[in-house]
Amino acid sequence: MWRKLILHAAILLSVCLMNGRLFAQLPGPPDCSSGTGSTVRTFRNGFVLRIEKAAASDDMKDADGKIWGCVVTVNNPAAKVVFRQKAHSIALLQVGNLGGGESDISLLLEGVSGGAHCCWRYWFVGTDKNLGEFAGLENQLAIAATLTSAGLNLDTNDGGFDYFDGLCHACSPRVPVYMVLRGTRLINVSEQSVPQYDKLIAESRKLLDSAKVASFRRVAKYDDAASSDFGDIIPPILNITLAYLYSGREAEAWKTLDQMWPPSDVDRIKKRIAETKANGITSTLHDPKKMH
């Protein structure tokens, strides 16, 4: 159990540090992992949370017939199930007025699939008029959350770029995403975080050698050989591009590629970036312009 908790904290810390910000994440109660561990929480409004080993009917058995998963349920005071999900491991991360304002008790739960580098699921569950799951996120990387008087702030990197364009997990671009929960709405506030992106841009530029960038631009055909030969500068170039793009400076993003990427491949990589972003973590968020 202690080894699991330490690993969980290390993952969250690494994500926060990569984003250039460090948040204190409140630990949840003892959770369940690999079918081991359980907790029960009864809240002041009579709702009950249970995190426990999955049942045989949940079809979460390995080849030896051992149950490897966990289940979380939330019941109302009349014992009716208003929320139920299962995963390899489950933890309660936050409890309170997560959306700010006058909302009653809300819960932030984390489920981890158990696969290599994937995947984290986050469930936002209400126990008042916003009964049951009112929002959710899924990402190939963990999300750091901190509760403020205005609501919940959420930081991560867009996992949609994991293994981007054939790159390895460790050398994939890491672009921060900044979100908030206000009421029951998840909002992308990345464009309000320009200083954080500028820090990433400055750090990435330090990793680039101008002579090598010039050689990279002279590559006649971008293929596996070119990706290998210039593997040390490709991630910083992509990080700079994505930092501009996610902070709302699209023209600067494409200008970066025009100046640093092989001209014969610019159109292709632009398209790949745009498609990946369109299907990334921000694609599921509410439009802040529609907020009231």
pLDDT tens-place values along the chain, 292 residues long: 333 333 333 333 333 333 333 233 444 444 899 899 999 999 989 999 999 999 988 888 887 778 889 999 999 999 999 999 999 999 999 998 888 765 578 999 999 987 665 789 999 999 987 789 988 999 988 999 998 888 899 999 999 999 999 999 899 999 999 999 998 889 999 999 999 999 999 999 999 999 999 999 999 999 999 999 999 999 999 999 999 999 999 999 999 999 999 999 999 999 999 999 999 998 877 544 443 3
Reported in sequence order, the residue ranges of the chain that DSSP labels E, i.e. its strands, are 32-33, 39-42, 48-53, 70-75, 81-87, 89-96, 106-115, 118-126, 132-139, 144-148, 151-157, 176-182, 185-188
Q: In what order do the strands lie in the sheet with 39-42?
A: 39-42, 48-53, 70-75, 81-87
What's the angle, vertex CA 16, arms to CA 245 and CA 32, rounded to 5?
120
Q: Are residues 144 and 253 in the same domain?
A: no
Domain that holds residue 150: 2-157
Q: Are residues 151 and 198 in the same domain?
A: no
Q: Are residues 283 and 139 in the same domain?
A: no
Which helix (H) or strand (E) segment holds residue 17: the answer is: helix 2-18
The amino acid sitting at 31 is D
Q: Are residues 102 and 212 in the same domain?
A: no
Examine the fold and report which residue of 132, 157, 182 is the final residue of a domain before the chain moves on: 157
Tell me the two tokens of residue 93.
Answer: 């991360």
Q: Are residues 236 and 91 in the same domain?
A: no
Q: Are residues 262 and 272 in the same domain?
A: yes
Q: What is the pLDDT of residue 115?
A: 64
Q: Are residues 143 and 186 in the same domain?
A: no
Q: In what order do the strands lie in the sheet with 32-33?
A: 32-33, 89-96, 106-115, 118-126, 132-139
**Quick one: which of 31, 34, 24, 7 has its CA closest to 109?**
31
**Quick one: which of 99, 148, 102 has its CA closest to 125?**
99
Number of domains in the chain: 2
Quote the CA–CA distance of 200 and 164 in Å, as a whole number: 19
> Which position has the token pair 């995403």?
177
Q: What is the DSSP letter of 286?
A: B
pTM, 2 dp: 0.82
Q: Are residues 144 and 189 in the same domain?
A: no
